Amino acid sequence: MRNFKIYLLGVAAMLFSTSCLDKDPTHAILADQSITTVEEANQAVMGIYSDFMSRYLYSGNLTLLPDIQSDLVYAVNGYSNTYGDIWRWNINPTNADIEAVYGSLYKVIGDCNFFFEQVAKWENDLVDDDAYEKLEAYKGEVHFARALAYSELIKCFCKAYDPATAKDELGVVLVSSYSNPGEMKRASLYDSYQFVLDDLAKAYDYLEPEEGTTLVASDYYDSPYFNEFTVQALMARVYLYMQDWDNAIKYSSELIDSKLYLLSSATTVYTNDMSYYDYMWKYDASTETIWKVGFLPTSYGGALGQVFLNFDEISYRPDYVPGQAALNTYEGNDLRYISFFQDMPTGYSHGLVWPLLVKYYGNMEFVSNYRIYHVNMPKVFRLSEQYLIRAEAYCRKEDFGKASADISTLCQARYQTYGSATLTAENWLDEIDKERLRELFMEGFRLQDLKRWGKGFERKPQEQSVSDGSSLKIEAGNPLFVWPIPQHELDLPGSAIEPNESNK
């Protein structure tokens, strides 16, 4: 396993005057310098990890926009209009926040392709077994990074997967070569997901430990690096989205049954004033985190909590506050509520007092030692999601007993007291919906969940909510559940990229 060390590698600013599919890697290894050694390959991989620190990805837009667009939060009177068009569903193909997600994900892909192209020139000449094994591991990490980036592009810019129609639906532009990217044309949704699965299979082959290796839990949980279980976590998620229930169960089960990860208990005390669950959110460390984006006080990405708190050392002026309907889904003894929300007065002239989202108040070491507020390390894969994936897949197969057991296991780690869940053919979707909302609040899943379940939603005004957007009824199948392809990608000379319905 890698030691925890984040390298300070410069990340270039997004330049949208050129195509998002044509980016030079700008880290320790530059395009005109080449990767010629195993150590340089390692530095290039560190650069790819640095890509994921972008405030346009998990520490910002990619996490926040889907949930702000949905039914979880309301804009507050006096807000700064940050992400305002997203919240109002006034999203057009030139939206800079959407462009930033698209461009940042293709930047990851471009850097991965550059890595593969460079190491292919000399990897077969390696004679040192240790160096060869290191390079194999690096290749596994890069295959995973590319798969992850493509999976997020598909989630944001494509329709929900239906096995019956996937070969006829638009996917994403698949680029596997840095020097010869090929025609700028979208593959089918089926082929796009197959590309992700192929990359994940290669990643697992490269990252899987040798037979007989003793796995130590502390080498795996809370890792900022990819490993074989990170691969399984994404496989389970992708197969759920593809409606392949058997494989979703298979890969989530392999991860759960490994016993290397444990749910962080909300009732077990870590220190005098916090549980293990509290500690996960306050200090970004836990036994249930499968992969997180690692930050240091001197090297970090965006501030996930900024728009929910905007603390200026004097008062809180949130742009968005939790919706009352979402808050009402939490039961009285659900300890997630007190970990996520806190009643506080705002600094606005209207004096709103509301349960503000404090889930991303900030890593307390950053806050205490450096006065860096609202910066938390994104926990992209957690064990709790795997239980939710498996429970939903079991429900799809009408195995409600096993699904109920998984929800019970999760809730017993989150509630003050909890008996057992009872999922049935009549209630399972509503129960899974509510449990995913409660567990994954503002982690970037909500819009995709509504899209794949074929659900709409309705907002109704609440205290001091901005009028434009508070009375909003979104029907299932609304074109903006699928984000528009950035206009500059469609307009480039030679582009054959087809638009989404939301582009029109």
Which three-class secondary structure string do you get for 261-317? CCCCCCCCEEECCEEHHHHHHHHCCCCCEEEECCCECCECCCCCCHHHHCECCCCEC
Q: Which CATH number fits domain 38-212+226-457: 1.25.40.390, 1.20.910.10, 3.90.650.10, 3.40.50.1580?
A: 1.25.40.390
Q: What is the pTM of this model?
A: 0.94
Q: Where are the domains of the chain?
A: 38-212+226-457
d(CA 233, CA 237): 6
pLDDT in tens, the chain (504 residues): 443 222 222 223 332 334 455 434 344 454 446 999 999 999 999 999 999 999 999 999 999 999 999 999 999 999 999 999 999 999 999 999 999 999 999 999 999 999 999 999 999 999 999 999 999 999 999 999 999 999 999 999 999 999 999 999 999 999 999 998 889 999 999 999 999 999 999 999 999 999 999 999 999 999 999 999 999 999 999 999 999 999 999 999 999 999 999 999 999 999 989 999 999 999 999 999 999 999 999 999 999 999 999 999 999 999 999 999 999 999 999 999 999 999 999 999 999 999 999 999 999 999 999 999 999 999 999 999 999 999 999 999 999 999 999 999 999 999 999 999 999 999 999 999 999 999 999 999 999 999 999 999 999 999 999 999 999 999 999 999 999 999 999 999 999 999 999 998
Contacts of 67 (CB under 8 A, 6+ apart): 73, 441, 442, 443, 444, 445, 446, 447
Residue 139, pLDDT score = 99
Identify the pLDDT of residue 206.
98
Chain-centre distance for alpha carbon 6 = 20
Retrieve residue 150's tokens: 């493509």
Kindly provide the b/e burial profile for residues 163-181, where b requires at least 16 CB atoms within 10 angstroms of the residue's own CB.
eeebeebbbbbbbbebeeb
Q: What is the pLDDT of residue 33?
A: 67
Contact, 136 vs 185, CB < 8 A?
Answer: no
Q: Which two tokens stand for residue 181?
A: 């990217």
